[in-house]
Amino acid sequence: MKKLILSLALIAATGLAFGQKKVVRSAEKGFKQGDVEAALNDINAALQDPETKDDPETMLLKAKIQTKMFGMDSTNTMSNLEVGRSAVETYNKAFEMGGGDKTSGVGEMVYEADILGVPDNLRPYSIFTLKNTAFDKAIERYNSDDYEMAYEFFDLAGEVDLSDTTVHYNAGFLANDLGKTEDAIRHFNYLLDVEEYNKINAYYSLVQIQSSQQNPEAAYEIVQRGRADYPDDKALAEYEIQLLLQLDKMDEAMASIKEALKNDPENTGILLRSGYLKEQSGDLDGALADYKKSVEIDPSYYEGNYYTGALLLDRSQKIMNELNNLSDEEWEKRSESMGKEANGFYAEAIPYFERALEQKPEDTNTMIVLFQIHTRLKNEAEAEKYNAKLVELLGPNWMEN
CATH code, domain carrying 61: 1.25.40
Q: Is the pLDDT of residue 7 over 50?
A: no
pLDDT band at 20 (very low <50, low <70, confident <90, very high): low
pLDDT tens, 106-135? Answer: 999 999 999 888 888 889 999 999 999 999
Radius of gyration of the chain (CA): 36
Which is nearest to 69 in space by CA: 130, 126, 11? 130
Kind and range of the H or E element at 10?
helix 2-33
pLDDT band at 386 (very low <50, low <70, confident <90, very high): very high
Q: Is the pLDDT of residue 344 over 90?
A: yes
Which is nearest to 56 in space by CA: 7, 87, 99, 25? 99
pLDDT at 27: 86
Would residue 201 count as lying in a domain? yes
Would residue 378 count as lying in a domain? no
- 71 and 146 share a domain? yes
Please check whether residue 393 is in contact with residue 364, taking contact to mean a CB–CB distance below 8 angstroms. Answer: yes
CB atoms within 10 A of CB 200: 14
pLDDT at 294: 96
User: What is the Cα–Cα distance from 198 to 226, expressed in whole angstroms?
Assistant: 11
- 115 and 202 share a domain? no
pLDDT at 238: 86
- 23 and 154 share a domain? yes
Would residue 141 count as lying in a domain? yes
User: What is the Cα–Cα distance from 257 to 278, expressed in whole angstroms?
Assistant: 11
Please check whether residue 239 is in contact with residue 223, taking contact to mean a CB–CB distance below 8 angstroms. Answer: yes
**pLDDT > 70: percent of the chain:** 95
Residue 174 contacts by C-beta under 8 Å, 6 or more apart in sequence? 142, 147, 150, 151, 154
Would residue 295 count as lying in a domain? no
User: What is the Cα–Cα distance from 99 to 94, expressed in whole angstroms?
Assistant: 9
Cα angle 72-75-80, degrees, rounded to a multiple of 5: 70
Q: Is the pLDDT of residue 16 over 50?
A: no
User: What is the Cα–Cα distance from 146 to 44, expressed in whole angstroms?
Assistant: 34
Sequence letter at residue 58: T
Would residue 77 count as lying in a domain? yes
Residue 216 structural domain:
180-229+240-246
pLDDT tens, 262-297? Answer: 888 999 999 998 998 888 888 999 999 999 999 999
pLDDT tens, 300-323? Answer: 999 999 999 999 999 999 999 998
Q: Any idea of the CA torsion for 302, 305, 306, 312, to the nearest 10 degrees?
A: 180
- 200 and 144 share a domain? no
pLDDT tens, 160-204? Answer: 999 999 999 999 999 999 999 999 999 999 999 999 999 999 999
Residue where one domain finishes, among candidates 215, 246, 277: 246
The number of folded domains in the chain is 2
Residue where one domain finishes, among candidates 161, 193, 213: 161
pLDDT at 6: 43
Q: Is the pLDDT of residue 227 over 60?
A: yes
- 115 and 196 share a domain? no
Would residue 272 count as lying in a domain? no
pLDDT at 120: 86
From first CA to last CA, the distance across the chain in angstroms is 114
Candidate ranges 1-5, 48-52, 148-152; pick with highest mean pLDDT: 148-152
CA atoms within 13 A on the CB side of 245: 19
- 70 and 185 share a domain? no
* C-alpha dist (Å) from residue 158 to 121, 124, 155, 196: 25, 19, 5, 18
Would residue 299 count as lying in a domain? no
Would residue 367 count as lying in a domain? no
- 185 and 143 share a domain? no
Instruction: Specify the higher pLDDT residue, 51 or 297.
Output: 297
List for the chain the helix, strand, coil content (%; round to 5). Answer: 80, 0, 20
- 157 and 37 share a domain? yes
- 21 and 157 share a domain? yes
Residue where one domain finishes, among candidates 161, 191, 220: 161
- 49 and 148 share a domain? yes
- 130 and 87 share a domain? yes
- 119 and 209 share a domain? no
